Structure 1
């Protein structure tokens, strides 16, 4: 007969005989138990107490370790804010540097504006001097600032100029594995890291950065919703570095200003992404009437190409003057806008001050009109 004992001191000590009723065994007399087992009981109790303390400590250690691991796994490092460099963002076939400005109050799903510096420039302070950072803070969008590297040596002496390559097919076409692809990877990084809104990605640039803006809008229309080109160059106006770096009355498209029709300029844009039939990004074009580096006719050729792509006339549907000496024209239903500032040379349109429509750094541009304010509104970011 098998017997199973319960611990001493319980209501009954029982055993169950296999196939039979349990056998109830009498409890030892209190005195006898105490007399026979008093010392052993105290020793066992002490040992059990020490064991319980050790077990609790071990259990607490395990709980803390598991909790810490869970926190580290569930909460990745906080994404950076402010102005900072992003050292790794993809394969970077164009070998560019990536900088970003992320406002402290930027929310998940924030828009992105890709901002290109001009030849000889850099990402540093570009967003402050031109006024873009003010509107990033005000409207809650983020900025991506690509920067050219000195080591990207070209046969035409690109290093001293630090221009983006707007003439090389590998850098300016949809299927090219060059600078344009690197910029798309920067945008993809913002989508992954900050949950940026893929439907609200924009581009803006100055001079050579304006040419880069036209490249991105033409080569990757599926990525960009709209763009703003400040005293830049038409897409495809230069096919070699030699042509690109010419200066003078016909720069940077020697011999082409009077020889190429709107359809031909449109064909150049379409050639950046052959066969593309999707939506095209809207374009805002700025130029100075007194620009001696890139002739103001560049505005006309950009307008001709983009209006042809949209299938709208080269005659404006409306014309206005938002400030003295400034002419704004709208084409089609707003797919293309142009701003011609008579007294402005090869410089950024700014209007330093504290009002919502004023921006830029004194001495860092032409004091006339705040370009980023009007560009932000054109993008739909200003409410």
Structure 2
């Protein structure tokens, strides 16, 4: 597939970036794929602050994602820390299809991202029970991967226009931008049991709780097709053992349908009627979901 279809898709050394709200952090821990860590620490930092890791789309950067979203402005109001990492590999797409990228502590992008979180927890005495991940397109795909490979590190996540963890697996030698297009085209359809088994195989032996998931998708998405919403919901409702209970129309706005699983405290989806790639970020809804 052509890249256009994935365009969705010690003391640390701290250096200033072009975006004044962010600083660059080096030496945050093992960084096998040479990712870039950009962090925003608000002027009025909470005691035991929460952390939000926000992941850009293919072709993007952490700095650009920080500027296009409202998380940093909201952090100044609420006192949480934001991390906006960048990958410069594979057209700035996150590594979500390789064996090492879909495993724990195996040298993938997910390992470097986990170490950014661990560094921030140590450095700022942050609250380990309030670590959250969000992402758009390729960033949503990596959000799914992090939830499966580092579930013990993440409390909850929000996800915009992505695919389930491991959906892009099985393309040996292919990078995310050249992977088998069947996943993005919404043609990888599996049973809930199959998705759950694949996710559990990404962190064998783990028996703890998985992060809470809120995921958004547009019905008119032609880059990462709409069936991927249903496949994500199969995966996370299976891992949380909650069944679909109801739809809520025009929530949180006209044309959006909230899809509630169980009590709605662990898994929810949002179907955006007529919206393409990507669903606009709903930062306020994300913070409600995170409990911030």
Question: Shorter-chain TM-score: what band?
Answer: 0.7 to 0.9
Aligned length: 273
What do the CA deviations read for 1:62-87 (whole angstroms, capped 9, x no partner)? xxxxxxxxxxxxxxx99999411112
Please, which of 360, 368, 374 is the counterpart of residue 285 of structure 2? 374
Question: Are residue 209 (structure 1) and residue 139 (structure 2) matched?
Answer: yes
8 Å Cα contact 2:50/2:131 also seen in 1: yes
8 Å Cα contact 1:244/1:252 also seen in 2: no
- Partner residue in 2 for 1:256: 188
8 Å Cα contact 1:288/1:341 also seen in 2: yes
Question: Are residue 339 (structure 1) and residue 270 (structure 2) matched?
Answer: yes
- Partner residue in 2 for 1:220: 150
Q: Which has the larger radius of gyration?
A: 1
Alignment partners' CA distance in 2, 1:120 and 1:243: 14
- Partner residue in 1 for 2:37: 98
Q: What TM-score do the two structures reach when normalised by structure 2?
A: 0.86
Unaligned 5+ segments in structure 2 are 1-12
Highest RCO, 1 vs 2 (Cα 8 Å, sep ≥ 6)? 2
8 Å Cα contact 1:290/1:346 also seen in 2: yes
Pairing 1:152-301 to 2, within 5 Å after superposition: 152=89, 158=90, 161-239=91-169, 240=171, 242=174, 244-245=176-177, 250-252=182-184, 255-257=187-189, 260-301=190-231
Distance of aligned partners of 1:245 and 1:212 in 2 relative to their CA distance in 1, 3 Å threshold: same
Distance of aligned partners of 1:188 and 1:249 in 2 relative to their CA distance in 1, 3 Å threshold: closer
Alignment partners' CA distance in 2, 1:163 and 1:213: 13
Distance of aligned partners of 1:87 and 1:256 in 2 relative to their CA distance in 1, 3 Å threshold: same
- Partner residue in 1 for 2:6: none
Q: Note the C-alpha offset of 1:348.
A: 4.1
Distance of aligned partners of 1:107 and 1:162 in 2 relative to their CA distance in 1, 3 Å threshold: same
Hey, which of these two has a bigger chunk of helix by percent? 1
8 Å Cα contact 2:15/2:25 also seen in 1: no
8 Å Cα contact 1:243/1:253 also seen in 2: no
Q: What TM-score do the two structures reach when normalised by structure 1?
A: 0.67
Unaligned 5+ segments in structure 1 are 1-76, 153-157, 351-370
- Partner residue in 2 for 1:321: 250
Query: For 1:186, what is the secondary structure of its paired residue?
Result: helix
- Partner residue in 1 for 2:69: 130
- Partner residue in 1 for 2:4: none
What do the CA deviations read for 1:221-264 (whole angstroms, capped 9, x no partner)? 1000000111011111111265844699954266422xx11111
What do the CA deviations read for 1:180-234 (whole angstroms, capped 9, x no partner)? 1111111111112211111110000000000010011010010000001110111
